[in-house]
Amino acid sequence: MLFHTWPFYVFFLIFYPIYIATKHTRFSIWWLLIASYVFYAWWNPLFLLLIVYSTLLDYVVVNQMEKSQRKKLWLMISVVNNLGLLGFFKYGVFFTDNVNVLLRMIGLSYQLPAPDVLLPVGISFYTFQSMSYTIDYYRGKIEREASFIRFAAFVALFPQLVAGPIERAKNLLPQLHGVPRVTLQDVTDGMSLFVLGLFKKVALANYLAMFSDQIFSMPDQYQSPALILGTIAFGWQIYFDFSGYTDMARGVARMMGFKLMLNFNNPYLATGLGDFWSRWHISLSTWFRDYVYIPLGGNRSGTFATYRNVFITMVVSGFWHGAAWTFVVWGALHAIGTLLTRELERNQWYRENLPRWVKQLWVYIFVNLTWIFFRAESMSDACLMLGRIFTTGWADPMFPIVALVLIVSVYVYQYLFESKWKTVLTLAPVRIALVLFMIVYLTMFAGTADQPFIYFQF
């Protein structure tokens, strides 16, 4: 069920009044769980088995940790189980393909059969969320959740189930205890966030996808201008797509009385790669920081170890995004960029004298170039596209002016938001006009194509 489709609106119209009417009873948590499972089963009821299994196992693991002295063993069971699920469903084909290539290279004719399985929607998100609970409990950061229903609702909370934000138990579980506080402000804030997210997804991301999909499906057919604009279009498409989903998720959650974490913070205004990752998919980057980078040693063991840890974390993060070498390269490039800007920031002249916009520009260009690896169908396509950007000449890119105007408008808005002109954006007529514009645009001009969210595949 997608937020921007009719089934969701019908679902929410049924769910919400009952949720509000029963919020003073403990039935609301049952209702929340039932609704979340219905929401998830809408894709494929069989996927439910997996999420119930994963939830049950982590619930039992933490129960056992409380009773047992061998906490580490139970933690390992949880981690191996969650990563095993991910490995089988998400990376099974990738591993068998690569093993088969290796077998061929050493002259063996035996080939491993590729697993014929569907990738369950959102598996990367809920396994990470569930795993963070067991790790945090192991570290003594949170209490054990006694109620299985509440824990299951935490793992499956439908607004953020399939594409995050990846909430921590410390933040979300306390919100599931007791009566949800739903104020009028929560409802209006939720509506504001939802409209913005809907606009980002339907009006902007889907629009830009129409152009970037053309370019990335046949990079050999286009010249430099179209390839550059296709890359830029994809950069904004993925931002609007994912941050739009997050806004809608946060909006829906807010209307229900839950406050989910901020997941995007105008990432294209970042002045360094580290800054970029503190603004892009914040819930994932902090997850990797807390559960990969810091356990590896973080920055506590000297420069080399820090570089190694950053590199490993970024590559693993890249691999989390997709089972292909292009994602690994994308992660590695971001690791290099992060280390590079980290070093540059140590230089006083760079830090203090180089204009902010120059730093923003180069980070923007770097991030966009790396998107090529993220989006390309294969490594060869990515290399071809990069090569053609720098070697082919002029040809009319046929990029719609309307799309350009929309992108520039968003960029200007974000720039103003982080400038001294921010107060202009607080004025009621400006805010009302923007919401009106978004709703009218959505109703009148937005496309009719039913595009899924990009991050659902991760």
Partner 1 sequence: MIKQFLASFQQNTDYAKVPEVPYGSHLIRLSWIEWIIVFVILGLLFHFAPWGWSQIEPFPMQDDFRIPYKLSNDYWLFSRYCEQIKKNQDIFVLGDSVVWGEYVHPEETFSHYLNENEVDHVYRNVGVNGIHPISMYGLLCYYAGSIQNQSVLLHCNPLWMSSPQRDLQVDKEIPFNHPELTAQFFSPVPCYRASFSDRAGIVAERNAPFLQWMHHIRIAYFDNSDMPSWTLEHPYVNPVSTIHFDGFQNSRELRHDPVPWTEKGTKQDFPWVSLDSSLQWKSFQKAVRILQDRGNSIFVLVGPFNEHMLEPESLRQYQSIRDKITAWLKEESIPSFTPSALPSHYYADASHPLKEGYSMLAGALIENTGFKQWRKGISINSF
**Binders in 371-430 for partner 1, by CB under 8 A:** 398-403, 413-414, 417, 422, 425-426, 428
Angle between helices 325-346 and 356-375 (to 10 degrees): 170
- How far from each other are the two terminal CA atoms of the chain, in whole angstroms? 16
Is residue 305 within 8 A of residue 322, CB to CB? The reply is: no
Residue 339 phi/psi, 5-degree rounding, is -65, -40
Residue 189 interacts with partner 1 (CB under 8 A)?
yes
Residue 74 phi/psi, 5-degree rounding, is -65, -40
Residue with tokens 């937005």: 446
Based on its alpha-carbon atoms, the radius of gyration of the chain, rounded to whole angstroms, reads 23
Residue with tokens 């580490």: 72
Is residue 458 within 8 A of residue 323, CB to CB? The reply is: no
Window 135 to 154, contacts with partner 1 (CB under 8 A): 149
Residue 175 interacts with partner 1 (CB under 8 A)?
yes
Which pair of tokens denotes residue 407? Answer: 């992108």
Residue 14 interacts with partner 1 (CB under 8 A)?
no
Residue 183 vs residues 95, 255, 256, 432: alpha-carbon distances, Å: 49, 8, 9, 21
Number of residues engaging partner 1 in binding (CB under 8 A): 75
Binding mask 307-346 for partner 1 (x = CB under 8 A): ----------------------------------------
Window 231 to 270, contacts with partner 1 (CB under 8 A): 247, 250, 257-262, 264-266
Which pair of tokens denotes residue 408? Answer: 């520039």
Q: Which of 176, 232, 324, 367 forms a contact with partner 1 (CB under 8 A)?
A: 176
Residues 6+ apart with CB under 8 A from 397: 222, 223, 225, 226, 228, 229
Q: Which of 16, 18, 20, 26 forms a contact with partner 1 (CB under 8 A)?
A: 26
Residue 447 interacts with partner 1 (CB under 8 A)?
yes
Minimum distance between the CB of residue 261 and partner 1, rounded to whole angstroms?
6
Return the number of the residue (9 or 357) whose C-beta is nearest partner 1. Answer: 9
Residue 115 interacts with partner 1 (CB under 8 A)?
no
Residue 405 phi/psi, 5-degree rounding, is -60, -40
Residue with tokens 């007529």: 429
Q: Which of 14, 21, 24, 73 forms a contact with partner 1 (CB under 8 A)?
A: 24
Is residue 115 within 8 A of residue 93, CB to CB? The reply is: yes
Window 197 to 216, contacts with partner 1 (CB under 8 A): 206-207, 210-211
Of the candidate spans 75-83, 88-96, 338-346, 440-448, the one that interacts with partner 1 by CB under 8 A turns out to be: 440-448
Return the number of the residue (264 or 291) whose C-beta is nearest partner 1. Answer: 264
Return the number of the residue (38 or 93) whose C-beta is nearest partner 1. Answer: 38
Residue 295 interacts with partner 1 (CB under 8 A)?
no
Q: Which of 14, 17, 21, 25 forms a contact with partner 1 (CB under 8 A)?
A: 25
Return the number of the residue (10 or 114) whose C-beta is nearest partner 1. Answer: 10
Residue 75 interacts with partner 1 (CB under 8 A)?
no
Q: Which of 192, 278, 299, 368 forms a contact with partner 1 (CB under 8 A)?
A: 192
Residues 6+ apart with CB under 8 A from 1: 7, 8, 11, 39, 42, 43
Return the number of the residue (52 or 403) whose C-beta is nearest partner 1. Answer: 403
Residue 181 interacts with partner 1 (CB under 8 A)?
yes
Choose, from 4, 24, 177, 321, the residue flagged as catalytic: 321
Return the number of the residue (90 or 254) whose C-beta is nearest partner 1. Answer: 254
Residue 396 vs residues 231, 365, 422: alpha-carbon distances, Å: 15, 21, 37
Q: Catalytic residue at 321?
A: yes
Residues recorded for the chain: 458
Residue 453 interacts with partner 1 (CB under 8 A)?
no
Distance (Å, rounded) from C-alpha 34 to C-alpha 158?
A: 10
Catalytic residue numbers read: 321
